[in-house]
Amino acid sequence: MKTTFLLSLLFALFSLNICAEQMVSVKQINLKKSLKGKGQQQPGTRSLEPLNVFAYFNPDAAALSINLDCVYTDVTVSVKSILTGETIQSELYFTPTDIFVNMSGVENGKYLLEISFGETLLSGEFSIE
């Protein structure tokens, strides 16, 4: 009985450790806010309006995850290579709340994520290694 309990406990702890390791690999992308047509970027937290957009890159799944806490209309998401300036992906979404962008097959390097809606442009860098 004790052996079964100890084995079950070890298995549970091992499972928790695996889940914790998987969660660490997701990296938040620091988004900076600017107005379209103006080059100045400001951190989103200094905005007068609350910035309710969060972006994450999961290297294990090779995917971008973008969470919008508010409903925005006509959201454009673009991924560009920082090295070449080439647009890798660009997509227009109508009233999304969660956006997933598949990045499998994209070469290693540094990329720029741009999220635009209305007069607002959010951008942040991330790496694929």
pLDDT in tens, the chain (129 residues): 666 654 455 555 555 555 555 555 899 999 999 887 655 555 544 544 557 899 999 999 999 999 998 888 899 999 999 999 999 999 999 988 899 999 999 999 999 999 999 889 999 999 998
- pTM, whole model, 2 decimals? 0.73
Question: For residue 48, what pLDDT is reported?
Answer: 47
Q: Two tokens at 105? A: 């097959």
Chain centre to alpha carbon of residue 105: 17
- pLDDT at position 45: 46
Q: What is the DSSP letter of 30?
A: -
Domain chopping of the chain, boundaries: 26-128
CA 106 – CA 36 distance, rounded (Å): 27
CA neighbor of 27 nearest in space, from 60, 68, 75: 60
Identify the pLDDT of residue 68: 92
Question: 70 with 52: CB under 8 angstroms?
Answer: yes
Q: Report how far apart, in Å, the C-alpha atoms of 70 and of each of 8, 55, 117, 128 are.
A: 43, 14, 12, 28
Topology classification of domain 26-128: Immunoglobulin-like (2.60.40)
